[in-house]
C-alpha cells in the first residue's frame, strides 16, 4: 500500500491558485524529490503534507488515513534550519524528543545517538551560532530523526549551503536514508541535487503548480539505490547499511547516465522556468 497519496489536491490563497490537480503516490521507504521553478508551490505541497495548512480541495492520505493536522509521524527539515538559538546542539535534538513521551533520562542518550548519526559527536555543547551552516542543518536533521517519524519532509534543506558542504550532506542524507528506511520527500530547485538524491523526481509546473512528469531515476552501479531498497523497508527490517557513496558519488555525478537524467529534467523544467519568469515580469510591471 502506498505510504502517502495525494488525491486531486488543490490549494488556493484568495484568487491565487498555488496548487492544482495534484495526484501523487509515494511508496513506503521511497526517496522522492520534487523539483520545480521558484514559486511553483513546492513548499505549499510540503505544508499540506506536514499538516500546517489544509487543501482547498482533494485530500492527502497518510497510511490510508487523511491528514488533518501536524503530527510526529512526519518530521520537517527547514531551509533556515529552525534551531533554537538558546539551546545547544544536544538541547535542540532533545527538543524533538520532548514532544514525544520519551522519559527525561533517555532523551539525552537518544539525542547523543542521533548527533552521532549525523557526524556531530564532540559538538553536543555548541550553540547554533558556534556551528557552520552545514553543521546546523545536521543538527536539524538529527532533531527530526530523533522522534522517529515515518516520513521526513525536507524543504530545500541544502539551498543555503555552499556547493561542497551541500554535496557532502547529500551523501550523508542518502546514507542516513538507507540506514533508517524513512520515506523522504525532498523539495529542491536544483536539478543535479534531484537526480543525485531521488529514486523518482517529480517535476512541477508553475502557476498553478501541477505535477508535469515523474522521472524514475535508476543507476545500475549505485549500491542500495533504485526501486529495490524501498521493498526491504516495508517490513520494518530496513536495508542493510550500504557502503556510503563517497568517492562513487563523484563518479556518479560525472557519469553519462547522470548527464542524461539531468538533461531530461532540465528539458522538462526549461519551459516552466521561462514561463515563470515571464509571469513574474508581467506581475512586476503592473
Partner 1 sequence: MSTGTDTAAPAVLPAAPAPAEDVRDSAPPPRPVPDLRPPQRAARQPLRALGRRLRAVALRSAAVLALLGLWEAAPRLGLADPTFLPPVSEVAAAWWELLGNGQLGRHTWASLVRSFGGFAIAVAVAVPLGLLIGWYRPVAALLGPLLELFRNTAALALLPVFVLLLGIGETSKVSIVVYACVWPILLNTISAVGNADPTLVRLARSMDLSTPRLFQKVILPASVPAVFTGIRLAGAISILVLVAAEMIGAKAGLGYLINASQFNFAIPQMYAGIVTISAIGVAFNQLLVTIERRLSTWRVPS
Residues lying near partner 1 in the complex (CB under 8 A) = 50-52, 69-72, 74-76, 78, 80, 82, 84-87, 95-96, 98-99, 116, 119-123, 127, 129, 132, 134-135, 147, 164-165, 167-169, 171-172, 175, 244, 246
Q: How far is the CB of 162 from partner 1 (least distance, A)?
A: 9
Cα 36 from Cα 51, distance rounded (Å) = 21
From the CB of 205, what's the least distance to partner 1, in Å? 26
CB of 234 to partner 1, least distance (A): 25
Identify which of residues 52 and 259 has a Cβ nearer to partner 1 in the complex. 52
Choose between 206 and 225: whose C-beta lies nearer to partner 1.
225
Q: Specify the residue, 72 or 259, whose C-beta has the smaller distance to partner 1.
A: 72
**Looking at beta carbons only, is 56 or 168 nearer to partner 1?**
168
CA distance 68 to 265: 33
Comparing CB distances to partner 1, the nearer of 96 and 208 is 96
Smallest distance, partner 1 to C-beta of residue 104, A: 14
State the nearest-atom distance from the C-beta of 165 to partner 1, in Å: 6
Shortest distance in whole angstroms from residue 138 CB to partner 1: 9
**C-alpha span between 202 and 204 (Å, rounded):** 6
Q: Using CB atoms within 10 Å of the CB of residue 232, give its burial: 0 to 12 exposed, 13 to 18 middle, 19+ buried.
A: middle
What is the rounded CA–CA span in Å between residue 9 and residue 13? 14
What angle, 0 to 180 degrees and rounded to 10, lies between the N-to-C axes of helices 246-253 and 163-180? 120
Cβ proximity to partner 1: between 124 and 264 the closer is 124
Which CB, 82 or 214, lies closer to partner 1? Answer: 82
| Residue 130 C-beta: closest distance to partner 1, Å | 9
Which of residues 47 and 272 has its CB atom nearest to partner 1 in the complex? 47
- What is the smallest separation between the CB atom of 55 and partner 1, expressed in angstroms? 17
115, with CB counted inside 10 A (0-12, 13-18, 19+), is buried
Amino acid at each position: 500500500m502506498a505510504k502517502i497519496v495525494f488525491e486531486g489536491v488543490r490549494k488556493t490563497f484568495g484568487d491565487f491558485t498555488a496548487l492544482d490537480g495534484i495526484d501523487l503516490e509515494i511508496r513506503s521507504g521511497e526517496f522522492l524529490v520534487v523539483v520545480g521553478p521558484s514559486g511553483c508551490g513546492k513548499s505549499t505541497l510540503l505544508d499540506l503534507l506536514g499538516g500546517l495548512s489544509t487543501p482547498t480541495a482533494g485530500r492527502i492520505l497518510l497510511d490510508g488515513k487523511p491528514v488533518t493536522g501536524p503530527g510526529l509521524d512526519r518530521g520537517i527539515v527547514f531551509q533556515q534550519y529552525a534551531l533554537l538559538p538558546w539551546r545547544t546542539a544536544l538541547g535542540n535534538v532533545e527538543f524533538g524528543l520532548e514532544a514525544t513521551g520519551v522519559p527525561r533520562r533517555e532523551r539525552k542518550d537518544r539525542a547523543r545517538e542521533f548527533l552521532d548519526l549525523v557526524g556531530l559527536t564532540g559538538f553536543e555543547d555548541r550553540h547554533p551560532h558556534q556551528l557552520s551552516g552545514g553543521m546546523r542543518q545536521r543538527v536539524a536533521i538529527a532533531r527530526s530523526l530523533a522522534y522517529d517519524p515515518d516520513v521526513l519532509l525536507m524543504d530545500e534543506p541544502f539551498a543555503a549551503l555552499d556547493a561542497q558542504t551541500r554535496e557532502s550532506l547529500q551523501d550523508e542524507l542518502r546514507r542516513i536514508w538507507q540506514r533508517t528506511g524513512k520515506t523522504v520527500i525532498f523539495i529542491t530547485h536544483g536539478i543535479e541535487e534531484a537526480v543525485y538524491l531521488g529514486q523518482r523526481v517529480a517535476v512541477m509546473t508553475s502557476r498553478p503548480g501541477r505535477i508535469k512528469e515523474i522521472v524514475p531515476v535508476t543507476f545500475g552501479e549505485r549500491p542500495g539505490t533504485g526501486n529495490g531498497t524501498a521493498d526491504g523497508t516495508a517490513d520494518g527490517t530496513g536495508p542493510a547499511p550500504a557502503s556510503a557513496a563517497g568517492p562513487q558519488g563523484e563518479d556518479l555525478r560525472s557519469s553519462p547516465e547522470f548527464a542524461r537524467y539531468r538533461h531530461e529534467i532540465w528539458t522538462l523544467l526549461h519551459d516552466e522556468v521561462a514561463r515563470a519568469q515571464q509571469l513574474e515580469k508581467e506581475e512586476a510591471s503592473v
